[in-house]
Structure 1
Amino acid sequence: MKTIDFIKNGIILTNLKASSKEEVFQILHDKLYKRGNVKESFYKGLVEREKKFPTGILLKSYNIAIPHTDPEHVINPSIAIATLQEPVVFQCMDDENKSVDVKMVFMLALNEAHSHIEILQKIILLIQNDLLLENLLKSQNKEEFVQKIAQGQ
């Protein structure tokens, strides 16, 4: 499965209003859960993993986060994405003592351990393109977002 397929199978929320990373996690979890993509335990798994292994990434223009949890919480693999109205604070992936104001979240819901690394690498390549990231943040809906990702790959 290609990255774009995981995204199409997932949820994309543009201009999401949330006051914390936990609220972002809850909203995305609820949408994935209703679609039958994740188990109820997925949310708790995300929160616990985020405490141990922060996922905020400091970039040149727009900071992002790539939260995920263990495959046992996933039924159908997908990626849930949220562009945020206002940044939400995450801890930095490479320095948990450092806070990062995140504007976009790529939440991985993958049911095979090896696919996490592969998808992470592909997302890292995508987010290194500042123009693409800016265009993704301007997307108004899922269709527009998917189209921009497909063109950016």
Structure 2
Amino acid sequence: MMRTDFFSRELTFGDFEAIDSLDLIRKAYPILLEKSKVKPSFLDAILAREIEYPTGLPTVPFGVAIPHGNTEHVIEPCMMLIRPRHPVKFHEMGNDANVIYAHFIVLMCLKEEKSQIGTLSRLMELFMNSEFMNALLGCKDAAEIFELFYSSF
């Protein structure tokens, strides 16, 4: 098991409104800033990173995305768990010509490169696990999403 203190119920959303990856990040940022999770520099840094290195993943049965910024813009490590109201357009990681419609997004805010790599690996394992993905698809609300990640991590 990895660290679960990155997750919090207050940063888990089951009906988040956003039209594309940059809109989602812009709307998530004030929440993270208000909760003192990130520095003011976080927004520009994560937007630039998402444009240069997109984070959409063509997982089955639905696409996901894991936007993440550089560690120096984070005050307190956390992961924002977001199920959008409608799938959100992201460009594919490693192939930005492809578009992924993410049905679930984990906005990662970590302070250490080492923990960021390990956490990304664990998220990839979960998103490639059909049992986990079906359970995520079946979550009715933010509370169930939080519990699923907390118990699976």
C-alpha deviation, 1:45, in angstroms: 0.9
C-alpha deviation, 1:9, in angstroms: 7.6
Q: Return the alpha-carbon distance in structure 2 between the equivalents of residues 140 and 42 of structure 1.
A: 31
C-alpha deviation, 1:26, in angstroms: 1.7
1:18-57 equivalence runs, <5 A: 18-57=18-57
> Are the equivalent residues in 2 in contact too, given 1:56–1:92 (CA < 8 A)?
yes
> Are the equivalent residues in 2 in contact too, given 1:37–1:74 (CA < 8 A)?
yes
Structure 1 residues 104, 7: closer, same or farther in 2, change over 3 A?
Answer: same
RMSD (Å), alpha carbons:
1.9
> What is the match of residue 116 of structure 2?
116
Gap regions ≥5 residues in structure 2: none
> Are the equivalent residues in 2 in contact too, given 1:56–1:66 (CA < 8 A)?
yes
Q: Return the alpha-carbon distance in structure 1 between the equivalents of residues 3 and 105 of structure 2.
A: 15
Report the AA paired with residue 56 of structure 1.
G
> What is the match of residue 126 of structure 1?
126
> Are the equivalent residues in 2 in contact too, given 1:89–1:101 (CA < 8 A)?
yes
**Higher alpha-carbon deviation: 15-24 or 61-70:** 15-24
1:103-145 C-alpha deviation (Å, 9 max, x unpaired): 1111110111111110001101111123322332443444322
1:17-75 C-alpha deviation (Å, 9 max, x unpaired): 21121221122211111110101111111110011111100012110111111111100
Q: Return the alpha-carbon distance in structure 2 between the equivalents of residues 143 and 9 of structure 1.
A: 7
Structure 1 residues 60, 136: closer, same or farther in 2, change over 3 A?
Answer: closer
Structure 1 residues 56, 74: closer, same or farther in 2, change over 3 A?
Answer: same
Q: Return the alpha-carbon distance in structure 2 between the equivalents of residues 75 and 102 of structure 1.
A: 27
Gap regions ≥5 residues in structure 1: none
Percent identity of the aligned residues?
24
> What is the match of residue 90 of structure 1?
90
SS at match of 1:69: coil
Q: Return the alpha-carbon distance in structure 2 between the equivalents of residues 9 and 150 of structure 1.
A: 10
C-alpha deviation, 1:4, in angstroms: 2.3
Report the AA paired with residue 61 of structure 1.
P
SS at match of 2:86: strand
Counting matched residue pairs gives 153
Report the AA paired with residue 73 of structure 1.
H
